[in-house]
């Protein structure tokens, strides 16, 4: 397994107490910076979307993948002041340039519901969902430990807000079948299914008649991947798993990711640890265990960790065709 952390350098701290993990990523995009190094060149995986802006011929598409996007707390004030696109405005051109951009949406888009009995609950007014679409984000993962922070009302409002702005979603729903349903996309003739799950237990999981997040088990993932392969050319699994503030995947995290590849997924994209973790080629597929934070209002817990690993941020670019991953590389924060 290869580490991602040595591919990115820490973001400088902002003058204000708030640190948005992505806010200085624009430095990596400035014209006087050398091109970022490539992480590797040929593990197999694939991905795409109907919102294609730069689809290339012959079924070759590019996916941009980012980690946790949390638009709550002080970010709400900043978006009220500067607009819904504010958290993304310095890198939106990179996100829009890909054929599909996918992120983990960490929190509920709602102004209703009671907060769950937990240390951290995140919510954002639904009107700011348009910032995701305007930034070029096509698909979001909702299979995480914050989508249900404000109960059934919060889940319902989140789904409605995303549907209203045309952002596809997977990993949460008003029942288990809907939570496990893939988000289907297409770019340049390549049909791609996104599935999303979490095994973080401080959560509300969907049941046969109950809303919540999709529970990650090897059996459920394998079943859903095989079903999705009947509908799509490529299956991608978004996995919210692992231990926070660690730089290496846990055995359970690896087991779930490898179960997805064994069942026929070509790409697994991870998040939850709030740090960059490694990638591996496994069984003809590519697993990226954690993409870290992308937009996040960090707090004292984040700043307490030596080296500030949660301030490392990156955009993963993956080039795909029907045979799998052609190339991938990181655009690191600076």
Cβ atoms 49, 185 nearer than 8 A: yes
Q: Per-residue pLDDT averaged across 5-13, rounded? A: 37
The pLDDT value given to residue 306: 82
Q: Per-residue pLDDT averaged across 183-209, rounded? A: 96
Indicate if the pLDDT at residue 77 is higher than 80.
yes
Q: Per-residue pLDDT averaged across 34-62, rounded? A: 42
Half-sphere exposure (Cβ direction) of 263: Cα atoms closer than 13 Å = 26
The pLDDT value given to residue 229: 95
The pLDDT value given to residue 58: 63
Cα–Cα distance between 7 and 314 in angstroms, integer? Answer: 9
Indicate if the pLDDT at residue 258 is higher than 90.
yes
- Residue 59, Cβ neighbours under 10 Å: how many? 18
pLDDT digits (tens, 9 = 90+) for 142-154: 999 999 999 999 9
The pLDDT value given to residue 51: 36
The pLDDT value given to residue 47: 32
Strands (E), the chain: 38-40, 61-69, 100-105, 108-109, 123-124, 139-141, 168-170, 172-173, 183-187, 190-198, 212-213, 234-240, 267-271, 279-282, 285-288, 293-295, 314-321, 324-332
Indicate if the pLDDT at residue 18 is higher than 50.
no
Cα–Cα distance between 257 and 325 in angstroms, integer? Answer: 17
The pLDDT value given to residue 5: 52
Q: Which of 49-58, 124-133, 221-230, 267-276 has the lowest mean pLDDT?
A: 49-58
**Could you tell me the two tokens for 312?**
């490392």
The DSSP element (H or E) to which 270 belongs, if any, is strand 267-271
In the chain the domains, ranked by start, together with CATH numbers, are 5-30+42-332 (3.60.21.10)
Cα–Cα distance between 288 and 310 in angstroms, integer? Answer: 17
Largest interatomic CA distance in the chain = 55
Average pLDDT of the chain to the nearest whole number = 85
**Band of the pLDDT at 20, cuts 50, 70, 90?**
very low
The pLDDT value given to residue 41: 29
Q: Per-residue pLDDT averaged across 3-23, rounded? A: 38
């Amino acid at each position: 397994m290869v580490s991602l952390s040595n591919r990115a350098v820490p973001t400088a701290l902002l003058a204000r107490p708030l640190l948005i993990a992505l806010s200085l990523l624009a430095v990596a995009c400035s014209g006087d910076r050398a091109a970022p190094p490539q992480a590797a060149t040929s593990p197999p995986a694939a991905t795409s979307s109907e919102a294609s802006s730069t689809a290339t011929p012959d079924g070759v598409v590019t996916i941009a993948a980012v980690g946790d996007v949390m638009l709550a707390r002080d970010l709400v004030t900043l978006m009220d002041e500067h607009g819904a696109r504010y958290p993304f405005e310095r890198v939106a051109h990179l996100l829009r340039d890909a054929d599909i951009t996918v992120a983990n949406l960490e929190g509920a888009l709602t102004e209703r519901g009671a907060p769950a009995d937990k240390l951290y609950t995140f919510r954002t007014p639904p009107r700011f969902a348009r910032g995701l679409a305007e930034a070029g984000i096509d698909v979001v993962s909702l299979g995480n430990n914050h989508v249900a922070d404000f109960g059934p009302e919060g889940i319902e409002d989140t789904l409605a807000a995303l549907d209203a702005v045309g952002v596809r979603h997977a990993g949460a729903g008003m029942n288990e079948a809907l939570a496990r349903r893939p988000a289907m996309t297409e770019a340049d003739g390549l049909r791609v299914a996104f599935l999303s799950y979490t095994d973080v237990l401080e959560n509300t999981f969907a049941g046969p008649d109950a809303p919540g997040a999709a529970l990650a088990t090897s059996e459920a993932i394998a079943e859903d991947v095989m079903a999705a392969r009947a509908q799509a050319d490529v299956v991608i699994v978004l996995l919210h798993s692992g231990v926070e503030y660690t730089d290496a995947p846990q055995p359970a995290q690896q087991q779930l990711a490898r179960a997805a590849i064994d069942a026929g997924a070509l790409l697994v994209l991870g998040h939850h640890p709030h740090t960059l973790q490694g990638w591996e080629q496994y069984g003809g597929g590519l697993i990226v265990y954690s993409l870290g934070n992308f937009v996040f209002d960090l707090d004292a817990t984040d700043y307490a960790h030596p080296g500030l690993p949660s301030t490392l941020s990156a955009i993963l670019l993956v080039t795909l065709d029907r045979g799998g991953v052609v190339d991938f590389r990181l655009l690191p924060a600076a």
